Amino acid sequence: MARLFSNTTGVLLVSAVLLTACGGGQQQGQMPAPQVDVATPLVERVADWDEFTGRFESPEHVDVRARVSGYLEAVHFEDGAEVEAGQLLFTIDARPFQAELAAAQGRLTQARAELSQVRTDLERAERLIESRTISQEAVEQRRTAVSTAEAAVASARAQVEAQQLNLEFTEVTAPISGHASARQVDPGNLVSGGNSAGDVLTTIVSSDPIHFEFDASEAVYLRYQRRPATDEGAPVEVRLQDETGFERRGEIVFADNVINPNTGTIHMRASVPNPDGLIRPGMLGTARVRGSAPYEAMLLPQTAILSDGSRRIVYVVNDQNMVETRNIVQGPLSGSLRVIRDGLQPGDRVIVNGLLRARPGAEVVPRDTEIARAAPARGGAAFIESQPATSAQPVD
């Protein structure tokens, strides 16, 4: 009996262990619904901006040349200095031109004396013709002499004016206001002037305002042209390579009259104030131009958007806490958020965190959160793009 009781007890203990193991396996198979973070799209008033990389150019660029040839006597500016229009820059030895002017003035005095003499002769001849003591032919000869003398006076006067100009040209002044380059010729050297092949003494470029030159695609140009006209014109915002924000503002002042058939782009120009002179011609920069009127937009974090081939999808949690797939049409970036053009409603609960734990048709435990706007992380280096980068920015 004792052996029988012992065997029965062992069987019961083994059965209990087996039942416990089976029960534990069933509990492990029933995994709880995963927890995910959900948020409704952030709704803001934004406007689309197209970004372009381009280069700053001077509105005015002048090679300063002498108008007369001669020996350079003095330089009156510091290399790289800011100069004003009309400011004296160089002086050429004026003594040869002073002598030429004096000679021209002497010739003018002589011509005037000759004119006075022939006029007196003509007056005498006209009195004698009345008494018939001189022929009509002699009178006509004296009239011709007066006309010739008058022409000689006019020619001598023109020579005096020309020599006065040459004397004035020995003082080379700045034709425009701007930054001067280094002088190209030192005092004591002979400079050639008076033509386009003359020696360049220095170069002056203006920089306030400064031009920003860039190329836009044909599609962008057409969109701008078809946009309703406003009193604001075509505003543009600019940043330099080491700047993260678009703090400099200007406007588009020129669009070329042809589309480049090789690139499909059109050349455009913006004028940007540069009162501090920080921007120099030749520098790279990035400009953004408003590409749309302000509109209400729904925004999601870029991390909430999945790619399925050519489609863009998001996971939405319905009223039964089941995951649904929504096809969306995405727009431009707005900081770290993406504009959603179509496919969502403002009240949809979109999974923004825990996407790897969610499956379409499966149940989840949603945890409500809010979408926060964060500033975009942009580097300081400029970037080159064949097409503009479009972004959406909040509108106050």
- Residue 27 has a pLDDT of 47
Crossing angle of helices 136-168/95-130, nearest 10°?
Answer: 160
List the structure tokens of 192: 């050639």
Q: Is the pLDDT of residue 292 over 80?
A: no
Can you list the alpha helix ranges (DSSP code H) found in the chain? 2-29, 95-130, 136-168, 218-226
* Residue 60: predicted pLDDT: 92
CA dist list (Å): 180 to 168, 210, 282: 21, 16, 15
Residue 325: half-sphere exposure toward Cβ, Cα within 13 Å? 10
Nearest to 172 by CA among 61, 60, 76: 76
pLDDT of residue 290: 80
pLDDT tier, 215 (very low <50, low <70, confident <90, very high otherwise)? very high
Give the integer Cα–Cα distance in Å for 147 and 125: 15
Higher pLDDT, 23 or 272: 272
Mean pLDDT of 146-154: 90
Where does the pLDDT of residue 119 fall: very low under 50, low under 70, confident under 90, or very high at 90 and above?
confident
pLDDT of residue 374: 60
Which of 48-52, 87-91, 125-129, 221-225 shows the lowest mean pLDDT across its residues? 125-129
Rounded to 5, what percent of the chain is helix, strand, coil? Answer: 30, 35, 35
Q: What are 216-253's pLDDT values in tens digits?
A: 988 888 888 877 665 556 788 999 988 888 888 998 88
Percentage of the residues of the chain whose pLDDT score is greater than 70? 85
pLDDT for residue 144 is more than 80: yes
User: Is the per-residue pLDDT at 132 higher than 80?
Assistant: no
For residue 285, the model assigns a pLDDT of 93
At residue 395, the pLDDT reads 63
pLDDT tens column, 97-107: 999 999 999 99
Count of CB atoms situated within 10 Å of the CB of 288: 21
Question: pLDDT grade, residue 180 (50/70/90)?
Answer: very high
Six token digits for residue 334: 């707005």
- Give all domains of the chain, ordered by start, each with its CATH number: 35-51+294-394 (2.40.420.20), 52-59+209-290 (2.40.30.170), 64-92+170-206 (2.40.50.100), 94-169 (1.10.287.470)
pLDDT of 146 > 50? The answer is yes
Q: What's the first-to-final CA gap in the chain, in angstroms? A: 94
